[in-house]
Amino acid sequence: MKRYAFHTFDVFTQKGLTGNPLAIVLDADGIDAAKMQAIAREFSLPETVFVMAARSPTHTARIRIFTPVRELPFAGHPTVGTAICLAELKFGTDQANNSLLVLEEEVGPVRCAVRTEPGKASYGEFDVPALPHENGKPPSREKLAAALGLLPSDIGAANHKPTCYTAGVPYTFVPVRDRDALHRAHAVSGNWLEAFGRDGAYIYTPLDMPTEHAYRGRMFFPFGGIAEDPATGSAAAAFAGVVVRFDGLTDGRHVVPIEQGIEMGRASLITLEVEIAAGRLTGARIGGYAVRFSEGTLWC
């Protein structure tokens, strides 16, 4: 039996017991995939990260990401949370510090930046490792509505229509007409496979905020072991493709705030940054705060 240190963080929030919880197991090189999956199931959090030595000497660490039932090639809140955890462990939080890290994930190397300040939550962001691209066609409004417990008339918002995009993890993006429809949405397991297969669905609606482009979303992933996710960075990364497609962004840098987890009582805020040149998406970043919640030792 071996001992492994772990930390848990609440990610995409500045306040504990909100945001998206994450477990991070350190020095996990001696743990095989089957045991990683069992540990993730034991934590029963949306995701658990296992940190190992990097394969490249120029990178910070290699990580593997598990939900309670499957491994993911890439995920946003584990990337932000792990980057912040490693930066805090290396540099502490007693003084301001800016650090750059590269995390090796199954999707490829992910470049991260972390800012720490005394007495404040740390902020992390990462460059989206692969720009989003369209990934198939969504089913009919009737099938989408049936899988989400909604009416077909609830589907659609302004000029937004359902789409399928991926930036490493595939999602069907379903706009709904208002916050009431968003609140009523829920995963209907008997209709899910016909509409979404085993992938996740991201339901969203525009918000009236000082910034022109802002959204509130919910993510359901029942066949990934996540009934509902409080904050989904991989979906936000793919959502960059949706925003560019429908929002008519001008060339330059745009900040798109995304609220999530409100209906779950786990309020989260994801910052999506997109860069447009000649009318095309040329870069995207996902950022947010995270706070340490617990630490301990695994015996396994």
Query: Mind telling me the catalytic residues?
Result: 47
**Parent domain of 152:** 133-284
Q: What beta strand segments (E) does 130-188 contain? A: 133-134, 163-166, 170-175
Q: Can you give the pTM of this predicted structure?
A: 0.96
**Residues 6+ positions from 235 with CB-CB distance below 8 Å:** 76, 169, 171, 173, 200, 202, 217, 219
Number of domain units in the chain? 2
Residues 43 and 178 in one domain: no
Q: Dmax over Cα atoms in the chain, in whole Å?
A: 57
Q: What is the pLDDT of residue 208?
A: 78
Residues 126 and 138 in one domain: no
Residues 44 and 109 in one domain: yes
Residues 293 and 254 in one domain: no
Residues 278 and 143 in one domain: yes
d(CA 126, CA 145): 33
Residues 113 and 186 in one domain: no
Residues 87 and 141 in one domain: no
Which residues in 259-288 are b (16+ Cβ under 10 Å) and which e? bbbbbbebbbbbbbbbbbeeeebeebbbbb
Residues 142 and 257 in one domain: yes
Residues 168 and 236 in one domain: yes
Q: How many residues does the chain have?
A: 300
Residues 139 and 96 in one domain: no
Residues 186 and 126 in one domain: no
pLDDT of the chain along its 300 residues, tens only?
899 999 999 999 999 999 999 999 999 999 999 999 999 999 999 999 999 999 999 999 999 999 999 999 999 999 999 999 999 999 999 999 999 999 999 999 999 999 999 999 999 999 999 999 999 999 999 999 999 999 999 999 999 999 999 999 999 999 999 999 999 999 999 999 999 999 999 999 999 765 668 999 999 999 999 999 999 999 999 999 999 999 999 999 999 999 999 999 999 999 999 999 999 999 999 999 999 999 999 999
> What CATH number should be reported for the domain holding residue 20?
3.10.310.10
Q: What is the pLDDT of residue 211?
A: 62
Residues 119 and 172 in one domain: no
d(CA 194, CA 209): 35
